[in-house]
A and B are shown apart, each in its own frame.
Chain A
Amino acid sequence: MSAERKLVENTRFDLQIIASWIKPESRILDLGCGNGDLLYYLKEYKKTHGTGIERSEDKVARCIERGLTVLQGDFQEEVHDYPDLNFDFVILSQTLQQVMNPEELIPELLRIGRKVIVSFPNFGHWLIRLRILFTGQAPVTDQLPYEWYNTPNIRVITIRDFKRFLRITGVRLAREIAINTHHHDREGHIIKHLTNLRATYGIMMFERPA
């Protein structure tokens, strides 16, 4: 197996899709970059100039050890320093549901980046709807494995909700893919129809209208 193939297969499925949207040699900001898997992949195979922001000291150290540019901090504060359109792509993967104030953050991301890509767990998935309907309890799923009292996911977002948000804030949706993932999110497939009902994650790329 080639090194690239192996790296792709070990990368979360939503990150594989995001990576496929990134143009070679572009400037990237990855918010909540974790161990830097996406940045590492993009640097190796798309020759991007990436920066990550991550809260955990150990993860930041791991990233820097891997040769990545990463800042330790809370990205909700760190984004304000960057000049306008400093990046080609700003990526927020599986973190939007933990953001305190998306209404303020997203315009800020559109200020510093030409395009913004977000991925988030879809609360509109049929399994979640059924759980609420039949058990009357807040959903606990593979994608959302927490109880209401310990979840970091303070925002309940569905694919339909997010698209409505883009519409009313006047942001242009450039690309979208809905996916279903399994096996620790490493594998998955793309959902074409009834996405808000059937997809576990939504991935969207958006920009300021020209």
Chain B
Amino acid sequence: MSPLRVEKKYYTFAEPPDEMILDSGARLGPITLAYETLGSLNEDKSNAVLILHACSGDSHVAGYYDEDDKRPGWWDTMVGPGKPVDTNRYFVICSNILGSCMGSTGPSSINPKTDKPYGFDFPMVTIKDMVKAQKRLIDHLGIKKILSMLGGSVGGMQVLRWCADYPEMVQSAIPIATTTRHSAQAIAFNEVARQAIMSDPNWRGGNYYDGPGPDHGLAVARMIGHVTYLSDESMRSKFGRRLQNRSTLSFDFNGDFEVESYLRYQGSKFVERFDANSLLYITKAGDYFDLERGDGNLLINDALTGIRFLVISFTSDWLYPTYQSKNLVSVLKKNGSDVSFCEIDAQWGHDAFLMPNAQMNKLISGFLERISHEC
């Protein structure tokens, strides 16, 4: 079978003077979202599945751009012909989030007022703003109802935000390894990552686009992130105390252990593809996310009772531990929503949702099959 071909598409809207009004009250426009679609939209536009990516993800969810593409999209095990999210049946959409640097408008984009990159002049964007922008894209595609939306981590937060803000458009939702609000621990790790970037001398208040960027700070931020995505158990089985390319300790600081070398590699690889300011903005959006803020839980709403939920968590996830998913389930039960929940036994920590997992595949394909019959 020939590999699945996809292309990166763009949609631009909110042209001045009709800028989008953000959560903070600031105005932003024009806004471009990069997105990818797979499969085809049926005649009554009832087979759309929206996939929401995590913090540093992008719109390239599955398949290959061209022959030279070495790796497929980030969730190629989940999305494609005959896969759990079957592109022979569903029209799959994945858009890059607002504030990112993978084709959508973010701090590295050109500010039309100055003709220079926004840098730290970019307004603060929230998960609500990201979802508001995605809704514009879905409207543009002429889709009134989304059959199902799924995403892990920050992607799961967007799923929940969609349900809170546009419940009439959501028929089913699969929040994976996520939370209704960041714990103090999650905020703490994000803050350390941000400080790593902001204390790099090359960061220069966020206006570094005309020179070298804060590569070292960004790499350290990614190393911290990676630690939170793994687990004690997965690090023990993946690295243990094994030494990297040596048989004895070096008695210096060049990195003796495999785990050090792994984190350094992940850090430097990340610098090649991601913008430091985008990481600052997106982690902050994650920290601000709180569906329990104000006068109660935003998921307690009669309009949500028609949405069918499948909540998935992983045993070894200590960034968004299972108790947070159970708390979400509890709220949805109180609201009278139709909700399924499964905690998958997996040793890979928070990253488990991105790993091939037969149990998760079974859950998602079975759930989508049911939804496509019921809706």
| 0/1 interface trace, chain A 54-78, chain B, CB 8 Å (1 if under) | 0001001100111111111100001
| 0/1 interface trace, chain B 354-375, chain A, CB 8 Å (1 if under) | 0000010011011101100100
Binds B, one of A80-88, A98-106, A187-195: A80-88
State whether B336 touches A81 (Cβ < 8 A).
no
- Whose C-beta in chain A lies nearest to the C-beta of B360? A61
Q: Which residues of B contact A83 (CB under 8 A)?
A: 334, 336
Q: Is A51 an interface residue (CB 8 A)?
A: yes
Q: Which residues of B contact A69 (CB under 8 A)?
A: 308, 338-340
- Whose C-beta in chain B lies nearest to the C-beta of A49? B338
Known: A67-B370, A82-B333. A61 touches B338 (CB 8 A): no
- Whose C-beta in chain A lies nearest to the C-beta of B343? A72
| B-contacting residues, A22-76, CB 8 Å | 49, 51, 57, 60-61, 64-73
Known: A64-B367, A65-B362, A73-B341. A82 touches B334 (CB 8 A): yes
Q: Which residues of A contact B339 (CB under 8 A)?
A: 51, 69, 71
State whether A67 touches B359 (Cβ < 8 A).
no
**What residues make up the interface of B, taking CB atoms closer than 8 Å to A?**
308, 310, 326, 329-330, 333-334, 336, 338-345, 359, 362-363, 365-367, 369-370, 373
Q: Which residues of A contact B341 (CB under 8 A)?
A: 60, 70-73
Known: A66-B366, A67-B366. A61 touches B342 (CB 8 A): yes
Partner of A64, one of B333, B363, B373: B363
Give the distance in Å from the alpha carbon of A70 to the alpha carbon of B341 in the complex: 7
Besides A70-B340, A71-B333, A81-B333, 20 other A-B contacts (C-beta < 8 A): A49-B338, A51-B339, A57-B345, A60-B340, A61-B362, A64-B362, A64-B366, A64-B367, A65-B362, A65-B366, A67-B366, A67-B369, A68-B370, A69-B308, A69-B340, A71-B329, A71-B339, A72-B343, A73-B326, A81-B330
**What residues make up the interface of A, taking CB atoms closer than 8 Å to B?**
49, 51, 57, 60-61, 64-73, 78, 81-83, 86
Partner of A60, one of B342, B369, B373: B342
- Whose C-beta in chain B lies nearest to the C-beta of A27? B336
State whether A64 touches B342 (Cβ < 8 A).
yes
- 23 example contacts (A-B, Cβ-Cβ < 8 A) are as follows A49-B338, A51-B338, A57-B344, A60-B342, A61-B359, A64-B342, A64-B366, A64-B367, A66-B366, A67-B373, A68-B340, A68-B370, A69-B308, A69-B338, A69-B339, A70-B340, A70-B342, A71-B341, A72-B341, A72-B342, A72-B343, A81-B333, A83-B336
State whether A64 touches B340 (Cβ < 8 A).
yes
Give the distance in Å from the alpha carbon of A65 to the alpha carbon of B333 in the complex: 21
Q: Which residues of B contact A68 (CB under 8 A)?
A: 340, 370
Give the distance in Å from the alpha carbon of A184 to the alpha carbon of B336 in the complex: 37
Q: How far, in Å, is B285 (CB) from chain A's closest CB? A: 29
Give the distance in Å from the alpha carbon of A86 to the alpha carbon of B339 in the complex: 14
Give the distance in Å from the alpha carbon of A146 to the alpha carbon of B345 in the complex: 28
Give the distance in Å from the alpha carbon of A64 to the alpha carbon of B338 in the complex: 12
Q: How far, in Å, is B80 (CB) from chain A's closest CB? A: 19
- Whose C-beta in chain A lies nearest to the C-beta of B369? A67
Q: How far, in Å, is A83 (CB) from chain B's closest CB? A: 6
Give the distance in Å from the alpha carbon of A83 to the alpha carbon of B300 in the complex: 12
Q: Which residues of A contact B340 (CB under 8 A)?
A: 60, 64, 68-71
Q: How far, in Å, is A52 (CB) from chain B's closest CB? A: 9
Q: Which residues of A contact B338 (CB under 8 A)?
A: 49, 51, 69
Q: Which residues of A contact B343 (CB under 8 A)?
A: 57, 72
Q: How far, in Å, is B28 (CB) from chain A's closest CB? A: 39
- Whose C-beta in chain A lies nearest to the C-beta of B364? A64
Give the distance in Å from the alpha carbon of A160 to the alpha carbon of B359 in the complex: 44
Known: A64-B310, A69-B308. A57 touches B342 (CB 8 A): yes
Closest 3 CB pairs of A and B: A65-B366, A67-B370, A81-B333
- Whose C-beta in chain A lies nearest to the C-beta of B315? A57
- Whose C-beta in chain A lies nearest to the C-beta of B371? A67
- Whose C-beta in chain B lies nearest to the C-beta of A66? B366
- Whose C-beta in chain B lies nearest to the C-beta of A50? B338
- Whose C-beta in chain B lies nearest to the C-beta of A53? B341
Give the distance in Å from the alpha carbon of A65 to the alpha carbon of B340 in the complex: 11
- Whose C-beta in chain B lies nearest to the C-beta of A63? B340
Q: How far, in Å, is A112 (CB) from chain B's closest CB? A: 10
